[in-house]
Amino acid sequence: MVGLAQPNVGEAELHLNPQASVRTLQEQTASLYSRGAELVIWPEAGFNIRPVWKGDSSIGKAIQGGVPVALIAGVIRVDQKDTWNSAVAISKDGTLGDHFDKINLLAFGEYIPFGDWFPIVYQWSPMTSHLSRGVSTAPLKLGPWRFATFICYEDILPALVRKTMEDHGQGRAHAMVNLTNDSWYGAGHEQEQHLQLAALRSAEHHRWLLRATSTGISAFVDATGQVVRRIPANVRDTALASVPMLEGVTLYERWGDWPGWASSAALLGIAVRALWTRREKSKR
């Protein structure tokens, strides 16, 4: 059983009360664990009150808040020189495991273009983070299972998801996980659009998508791309589902986008031929 935790704490509230999200997520995790969850998914940067250092043996249990359940949690990960927007795997005994660092950073939110060449621009834009890009697309491992993981809008980038779903030497991922903060969108339709675009990845790879967001829409998407359970936007709630761990390779994973490009080229050829034939007939 997998649980999704949606704290409904957006950016504005986090600035006023940084611990609001963590307390809510830990309470939701305890509730999901009591209902049978073996794994709980937290949203992007859900644990925001303390950076995660490599080798910090206490951080896993600090994130769990005393609940002995496996987690995939959004954190800010650091070392001596770099900072990443990351997802970390935590075993039920609180051991910090694999991490995934966001690769496609948001311009002017997580970095400023050419900012490494002209560092002063970060002083002019104090609300912009100065994050480093991730380099690995390997899945997160928890026990015998592997989870292809994406952060924020990376779940709508087919090429990145396809690369993440490759066999990284230990077999392909059994499910996909997306950690997102969509509170930037406000009350528009963007949350629904983001979810529907992300659902296409499930159909392409025949894997369930486990999607946890800060303010919605959190959802379980089955291997055919159907949203089977959701937490609406702007509510504080949890969701629980039995998620099959799937295997196998899809045609899209083997062939990528070339059938689509080939079809487009064929249609273009048919159109050109039809125009040429019509033109030749008009000359007669």
What is residue 96's predicted lDDT score, i.e. its pLDDT? 92
What is residue 67's predicted lDDT score, i.e. its pLDDT? 92
What is residue 129's predicted lDDT score, i.e. its pLDDT? 79
| One-letter amino acid of 123 | Q
What is residue 53's predicted lDDT score, i.e. its pLDDT? 87
Please check the confidence at residue 176 and state whether its pLDDT lies above 90.
yes
Closest CA to 76 of 48, 98, 100: 48
pTM listed for this prediction: 0.86
Q: Which two tokens stand for residue 134?
A: 């991730």
pLDDT tens per residue, range 188-242: 688 889 999 999 999 999 999 999 999 889 999 999 999 999 999 989 999 999 9
C-beta of residue 85 within 8 angstroms of C-beta of residue 113? no
C-beta of residue 177 within 8 angstroms of C-beta of residue 131? no
DSSP result, the chain? -EEEEE----HHHHHH-TTHHHHHHHHHHHHHHHTT-SEEE--TT-EEEEEEETT-TTHHHHHHTT--SEEEEEEEEE-SS-EEEEEEEE-TT--EEEEEE-SSPPBTTTB-TTTTT-THHHHH-TTS--PPPP---PPEEETTEEEEEEEGGGGG-HHHHHHHTS--SS---SEEEEEE--GGGTTSSHHHHHHHHHHHHHHHHT--EEEEESSS-EEEE-TTS-EEEEE-TT--EEEEE---------HHHHHTTHHHHHHHHHHHHHHHHHHHHHHHHHH-
pLDDT tens per residue, range 59-89: 988 999 889 999 999 999 998 889 999 999 9
Please check the confidence at residue 166 and state whether its pLDDT lies above 80.
yes
Please check the confidence at residue 266 and state whether its pLDDT lies above 70.
yes
pLDDT tens per residue, range 81-130: 899 999 999 999 999 999 999 999 888 777 778 777 777 776 777 667 78
